[in-house]
Structure 1
Amino acid sequence: MHIGINAQLLSLGQNYRNGGVSRYIRYLLTELAKAPGEHTYTVYVNGPDVIEHLGVQHPQITYISAPWSETRPIERVLWEQGTLPSLLQKQRIDVLHSPVNVLPVRIPRRCATVVTLHDLAFLRYPEVLTRAKSIYHHLFTIRSLRRATKIITVSESTKQDAHDLVHIPLDRLHTVYPCIDQRFSNVSEVAKVQEFRQKHGLTDGYILYLSTLEPRKNIPTLINAYHKLRQDYGVREKLVLAGSKGWLYESIFARVHELGLEAEVIFPGYVPDSEQVEWYQAASVFAYPSLYEGFGMPVAEALACGIPVVTSNVSSLPEAGAQVALCVDPQSVEAVSQALYRALTDTELKERSRIQASSVAQTFSAQRMAQQTIEVYEQAANTLQKRMQRVAFVS
């Protein structure tokens, strides 16, 4: 088959755009370049610099670049909805994969479609999105889910959401877990951990959060739990809130100020890919009490680095926690605080986290993700072919 992949949201910039969905696309393309199967691929990206820096080539894969970057969403949407359909027709694409929620409105009749659904936060928690993002998802994401031949969901939780909230039949939904990059799969030596902590003035250790600063991540509750942790147990570890400012983040900084924690809560800003492993491995605990996640990749990455993790017991986060993380009610300051204290002091939990790091990495491997994705492409093509045969027979 000839498979098209709309990789317009692939970003290699050093900012929040190089986050979850961009890394999902990058890891998928990297793995397909190693093992593309029997198919050929045309990948649509933003700008020739993306192709150059992506650094993955294979004779079965062709890259076509649009003349703008992912930082210009209006142009991207216009290209996606206006230009891409004609390219699909011209290049005789058999299966189009849109890796981030949205398909073009117009699709050639003989082109099967696969869309990856990362989450339905705009339906579960509409208040945590800007109005523009909410309108976009209501206009395009729901329509795409209803029209797609097959849908990849990044967790069983997201699969159930698609069934419950958008009424998508379960036989069109296929869970394929995202992968963890191999660089997260090593447990660091104690000496390197101490060296990193010393370099950043964190010699007593630290509780790490690493993701975009936005409302859905429930960071004010984490700050409150940390404040309680210091009051009740006198812990000396700092709280590191690492990540770019996303949207509606003002309450985070306000809460730190209200509690007088300016000297204890560290904001290092965006952490580039090259430094993320060190931040994970040197942490005493990783904390991620998000209210809702399609998958929750930082949880799996931290576990693969061998450190204890405290996360939420809602949505997909227990899946990302792989039966290793401590999963608690994210709305309860008391529960989060107690779990953090256990993660900081329970030597058995620390050892179990270290030992099971390799099994977590294997569960969320790139090879498994790519192979299962190719299988969905093939199922989508077969489904469309059978559908067209039925139509031809009836007519």
Structure 2
Amino acid sequence: AMKQVIKKDPSVICYIGGSGPEKNSLMNQIQQKGLEKYVFLPGFLAEDQIVRWMNSADVFVLPSLQESFGIVQIEALACGTPVVAARNAGSGEVIISEDLGILCDPGNAESLAGAILRGLERSWDTAKILEYAQRYRWDFIAEDLLRVYETVLKRDPPTRDT
């Protein structure tokens, strides 16, 4: 996707954080596609570094083919950073509106490149993104869980016949 992105906007730079088993494969792909000036692998990022990177990003990109609930997307949104993600169950639960980010076709570099470019060109309402992310604060999640337990405890217990 980055090959297509830089054809339209050569000022775009991509950073891929982490130091997992795919690092060597990614380095090879970057070299094979001639993207050394555009894609960088800073390696492992400590939690405090991640916040800085997410706050600095124009968009956060998560092209996972499968994703459970996307906590990393919530973290990006909590920094006011819009998300570009592949359409899957987890990302669809988080990115519920184009005010928060853009979903693209999974496994489709052209769709991903288009979504990244649209995300970079768009003026985002950071306040709206931050407001949405607030619903995922731990104290709000705890209150929601408490309400669920209270509702369950108020129900009549089932009898052996039902």
Please tell me the TM-score bracket, short chain as reference.
Answer: 0.7 to 0.9
Q: Which has the higher contact order (CA 8 A, sep 6+)?
A: 2
**Residue in 2 that maps onto 1:313:** 87
**Residue in 1 that maps onto 2:106:** 330
- What is the CA-CA distance between 1:253 and the residue it aligns to? 2.6
- What is the CA-CA distance between 1:248 and the residue it aligns to? 5.2
**Residue in 2 that maps onto 1:267:** 41
Task: Give TM-score, length-normalised by structure 1.
Answer: 0.37
* Identical aligned residues as a percent: 28
**Residue in 2 that maps onto 1:367:** 139
Task: Give TM-score, length-normalised by structure 2.
Answer: 0.83
- What is the CA-CA distance between 1:377 and the residue it aligns to? 4.9
Deviation string for 1:19-39 (max 9, x for gaps)?
Answer: xxxxxxxxxxxxxxxxxxxxx
State the alpha-carbon separation in 2 of the partners of residues 253 and 386 from structure 1.
58
The one of 2, 5, 15 aligned to 1:240:
15
Give the secondary-structure state (helix, strand or coil) at the position aligned to 1:281.
Answer: helix
Give the secondary-structure state (helix, strand or coil) at the position aligned to 1:235.
Answer: coil
Letter in 1 for 2:108: S
Residues 1:250 and 1:376: Cα distance change in structure 2 (over 3 Å): farther
Q: Structure 1 unaligned runs (5+)?
A: 1-224
- What is the CA-CA distance between 1:240 and the residue it aligns to? 0.2
The one of 21, 28, 35 aligned to 1:254:
28
- What is the CA-CA distance between 1:260 and the residue it aligns to? 2.1
Contact kept, 8 Å, 2:59 with 2:82, in 1: the verdict is yes
Give the secondary-structure state (helix, strand or coil) at the position aligned to 2:118.
Answer: helix
- What is the CA-CA distance between 1:317 and the residue it aligns to? 0.5
State the alpha-carbon separation in 2 of the partners of residues 271 and 249 from structure 1.
14
State the alpha-carbon separation in 2 of the partners of residues 265 and 343 from structure 1.
18
State the alpha-carbon separation in 2 of the partners of residues 386 and 302 from structure 1.
42
Contact kept, 8 Å, 1:303 with 1:321, in 2: the verdict is no
Residues 1:366 and 1:259: Cα distance change in structure 2 (over 3 Å): same
Contact kept, 8 Å, 1:285 with 1:344, in 2: the verdict is yes
**Residue in 1 that maps onto 2:52:** 278
The one of 30, 54, 62 aligned to 1:288:
62
Is 1:386 aligned with 2:162? no
State the alpha-carbon separation in 2 of the partners of residues 260 and 373 from structure 1.
49
Letter in 1 for 2:17: A
Query: How many aligned positions are there?
Result: 159
Is 1:339 aligned with 2:119? no
Contact kept, 8 Å, 1:242 with 1:268, in 2: the verdict is yes
Deviation string for 1:201-239 (max 9, x for gaps)?
Answer: xxxxxxxxxxxxxxxxxxxxxxxx0111112x1321221
Larger CA Rg, structure 1 vs 2: 1
Residues 1:243 and 1:380: Cα distance change in structure 2 (over 3 Å): farther
**Residue in 2 that maps onto 1:139:** none
Contact kept, 8 Å, 2:82 with 2:129, in 1: the verdict is no
RMSD, aligned CA:
2.5
Q: Structure 2 unaligned runs (5+)?
A: none
Letter in 1 for 2:157: K
Contact kept, 8 Å, 1:328 with 1:335, in 2: the verdict is yes
Give the secondary-structure state (helix, strand or coil) at the position aligned to 1:311.
Answer: strand
